[in-house]
Amino acid sequence: MLHFFYGVMGSSKTAMLLMQRYNYIAQGLHVALVKPAIDTRIDHNTVYSRVGLNACADIVLEPGHSIREQLYWLAVRNGHNDFPYVFVDEAQFLTEEQVQEMADMSDTHEFFCYGLKTDFQSNFFPGSSALLRLAEDIGEVPGGLCWCGCKATMNTRIDGQGNVIKEGAQVLIDNQQEIRYIGLCYKHWKLGVSHGPVSE
Ligand SMILES: [Zn+2]
């Protein structure tokens, strides 16, 4: 089955992924941890969560990679028949083709994809758009909060001074500026207010 769990920035998606993955490992099941190569938050292989849980990805998926082939070679390297349980972090960065491939394999594999639904301009990422179309099980990772205490639903790009940025490329690679992402409620995202009066 193909699962998609989406959540806003700061909703501890990766921590949830790593905890769920642990339950499968504890049962002795063969689990593969996958991340798209575009995520460079820490280093190439690390799956990193803000609450402190980390793990090393088994597969770093480049945009041109076939997940079927990558899982095959992982199984060969480890002397297993297969890795039927696959956890994908930052799944919004998957390509449409990779999501289609997972859907086609979902009768024999469990794919647990965690990621953002929309970008800082509230547009779909290619991966999340494909997952929302094709996933058989879709759920929200709750817990993301705006500074005002309301539920955060909007991913927001801010600069080093906390100014909300509404223009630019969907993904910034090797970006020299001090850019961060936070979750805001719709109202504060629309108004472009990234913090309360007392937080400065
Ligand atoms: Zn708010």
Answer positive or negative: Cα dihedral of 50, 55, 61, 67. Answer: negative
Question: Does residue 110 carry a catalytic annotation?
Answer: no
Q: How far is the CA of 117 from the centre of ligand 1 (A)?
A: 19
- Minimum mean pLDDT range among 55-64, 110-119, 172-181: 172-181
- Give the per-residue pLDDT at 104: 98
Question: Residue 198's pLDDT band (boundaries 50, 70, 90)?
Answer: low
Quote the longest CA-to-CA distance of the chain: 57
- Nearest residue to 94 via CA among 147, 39, 51, 33: 39
Q: How far is the CA of 69 from the centre of ligand 1 (A)?
A: 44
Specify the CATH superfamily of domain 2-140: P-loop containing nucleotide triphosphate hydrolases (3.40.50.300)
- Which H/E stretch holds residue 65? none
The structural domains of the chain, with segments of one domain joined by +, span 2-140, 145-200
Instruction: Encode pLDDT of 75-130 as tens digits.
Output: 999 999 899 999 999 999 999 999 999 999 999 999 999 999 999 999 999 999 99
Residue 90 contacts by C-beta under 8 Å, 6 or more apart in sequence?
Answer: 35, 36, 38, 39, 114, 115, 116
